[in-house]
Amino acid sequence: MSEPLERTLVLIKPDGLQRGIALELLSQFERRGLRLVGLKLVWPSQTLAEQHYAEHRDKAFYPGLVSFITSQPVVAAVFEGPRAIEVVRTTMGVTRPHEAAPGTLRADYGITVDFNLAHGSANAGDAKREVALWFRPDELLSYSRAIDSWLWR
């Protein structure tokens, strides 16, 4: 009963890094069994931020969002695993921390939408686009772990 492995982009936004919990947050994804295949610190350029959040171009919060994400470094990671896209999204919780379920990262560590700590690709198309936007192919490693056979088949 094997499921296709997916790759998805995770960002720990400036609030996570500034609060000193970036690696603690990332570890939640690792703990669920997802395999880390890419990791780096990035101080996003204006262009990168605009491309990343292009879908929100016309929203009122867009200028503030772009200025926030470019204000300080972020941690960029790519996680891989069965249904990785959905696993990351459910681990993070919904966009607005006050609506997120307890146990999710945004609920347990956050309170307002301006500081919701993490980004995770929303769907397969976004994941493909965002992984390629943030990482060069040679920055992504393909490998297996002994423990993988106890996590998925």
What residues line the site for Mg ion (CB under 5 A)? 122
Count, residues in the chain: 153
The answer to whether residue 113 forms part of the interface with ligand ADP (CB under 6 A) is: yes
Which residue has its beta carbon closest to Mg ion?
A: 122
Contacted by 39, from Mg ion, ligand ADP, none: CB < 5 to 8 Å by type:
none
3-state helix, strand, coil in the chain (%, to 5): 45, 20, 35
Q: How many helices (H) and strands (E) does the chain have?
A: 7, 4
Closer to ligand ADP at the Cβ: 3 or 114? 114
Choice from 18, 46, 72, 95 touching ligand ADP (CB under 6 A): 95
Rg (CA), the chain: 15
d(CA 149, CA 130): 28
- By CB under 6 A, residue 116 contacts ligand ADP: yes
Residues that bind ligand ADP in the complex, under the rule CB under 6 A: 56, 61, 65, 95, 113-114, 116, 119, 122
